Amino acid sequence: MAKLYFYYASMNAGKSTNLLQADFNYRERGMRTILFTAAVDDRFAPGTIASRIGLSADAIPFGPDTDLAAIVTAQERPACLLVDEAQFLTAAQVDQLAWLADSHDVPVLAYGLRTDFLGELFPGSARLLAIADALVEIKSVCMCGRKATMNLRVDESGHAVTAGRQTEIGGNDRYVALCRRHHSAALAGTLRIDAGFEPTN
């Protein structure tokens, strides 16, 4: 029986790198895969999954109205589905992925953030945490050396952003991965992240 996996982590933990490595492993053995990525993530070319270490692959972009099940079932059954930026899935789309695993015996590997910059769950992540067969944490490191579990949004001066839209695309210039203690301190205004700070990976 195929499973639905949710690989979650803070920013800069190597989620896309892990996904691309898994995709390579399938393809190296002559197996066909289907890759999805969030259309809202416009940091790279549209429909591209890219990692910070220079790896990339073409993917099908999805938005909130994309019927993932229809796209997959219209093709020859793949050996695996891989979804990047899975936090941007809707709950209904996560249910579609579970259905593909259960009814079509297609393993689904979804990679994404668990929480936003205020520590709140994304809808897609919440549904994945609720129904995925396997939850796998990919580790990252806070500036203090502890495990980073939170994502802090910062402004140009390195100050924590404490309000705003849940979704704001950005990389190291906008987000820092921190442990819970330092994330809380930054939101409280007692910790400033220097501009251009690069978390240890």
C-alpha 171/C-alpha 3 separation (Å) is 30
Annotated ligand binding at 139? The verdict is no
Q: Are 46 and 23 in contact (CB under 8 A)?
A: no
Q: What are phi and psi of 56, to 5 degrees?
A: -155, 160
Annotated ligand binding at 103? The verdict is no
85 is catalytic: yes
Annotated ligand binding at 140? The verdict is no
Nearest residue to 114 via CA among 42, 40, 6, 18 = 6
Copy the structure tokens of residue 123: 């809808």
Annotated ligand binding at 159? The verdict is no
Q: What are phi and psi of 92, to 5 degrees?
A: -65, -40
Annotated ligand binding at 14? The verdict is yes
Residues 6 or more apart whose Cβ sits within 8 Å of residue 4: 97, 98, 101, 108, 110, 128, 131, 132, 133, 134
Annotated ligand binding at 10? The verdict is yes
Nearest residue to 60 via CA among 23, 25, 114 = 23
Nearest residue to 124 via CA among 90, 100, 147 = 90
Copy the structure tokens of residue 32: 């066909």
Question: Of the listed 28, 85, 120, 198, which one is catalytic?
Answer: 85
Annotated ligand binding at 80? The verdict is no
Nearest residue to 100 via CA among 36, 47, 40 = 36
Annotated ligand binding at 51? The verdict is no
Annotated ligand binding at 111? The verdict is no
**Residues belonging to the active site:** 85
Q: Which residues are annotated as a binding site for ATP?
A: 9-16, 84-87
Annotated binding site for Zn(2+): 142, 144, 179, 182
Q: Extract the annotated binding site.
A: 9-16, 84-87, 142, 144, 175, 179, 182
As annotated, the binding site for substrate includes: 175
